[in-house]
Amino acid sequence: MARSALSRDEVLDTAAALVREHGPDALTMRRLAAELGTAVTSIYWHVGNRESLLDALVARTVADLGTIRPRGATPAERIVSVARALRRALRERPHLVAMVHERGLTERMFLPAQRALVHEAHAAGLRGARAAALVHAVQFQVVGHVLVERNRERAPAQPPAETDLWVTEPTGLPAPDPELARALAAPVDTEAVFLVAVRALVAGLLR
């Protein structure tokens, strides 16, 4: 075969391409080796093992998430805009979330939004621990929401679900609030839930 100069970077590039095009499950050491035209075992020399290969890919992908620029007139609006931008950035990279899912969450994933959030918390008049609390609460909120969204998408069939559980009360009597019953029976609009939650969270934190 005699191919030349396999490098760590080449391994990472090819692995990244594999993940991008076929998802993280397609990233097997053997398939990667085939793609690279080397022996499986050569990869181990360059990246250690599959775990740290995924680590490196996650680090890489997070690194290119880029900076988030707040938009809006009021502090609350600007913080909400950061949350939305972070969610969008994460959702645009489903393989990143999938890799994180396999690998565990990196602190780094929170970073793109952190500087912006710190700045806006300060601008909103929060200081010290209270400002830090806002930063963490928003970060957890966004990342948590994205994880839930992703997990529901890969969920199995959802037969009984909330759907029929609330159209009628278990008593058989009509629900006391039919509009609420209808709203809970309908499929969840996760984007709307996100917006409501983030706005309420930020409003609550800035009180």
Partner DNA sequence: ACCTGAACACCGTTCAAGT
State the binding partner of 147 from a second copy, DNA, none, CB within 5 to 8 A by kind.
Answer: a second copy
User: Which of 102-107's residues contact partners 24+ apart within 8 Å by CB, and which partners?
Assistant: 102/24, 102/54, 103/51, 103/54, 103/55, 103/58, 105/143, 106/58, 106/59, 106/62
**DSSP 8-state symbol, 159:** -
For the record, the structure tokens of 179 come out as 């509009």
Binding mask 24-63 for DNA (x = CB under 7 A): ---xxxxx------xxxxx-xxx--xxx------------
Q: Is 48 in the site for a second copy (CB under 8 A)?
A: no
- Yes or no: say if 138 and 117 are a contact pair by the CB < 8 Å rule: yes
**Separation of CA 96 from chain center:** 8
Interface residues with DNA (CB under 7 A) are 1-3, 5-6, 27-31, 38-42, 44-46, 49-51
Interface residues with a second copy (CB under 8 A) are 51, 55, 100-101, 103-108, 110-111, 114, 118, 121-122, 127-129, 131-133, 135-137, 140-141, 143-145, 147-148, 151-156, 158, 161-163, 165-166, 176-177, 179-180, 183-184, 188, 190, 192-194, 196-197, 199-205, 207
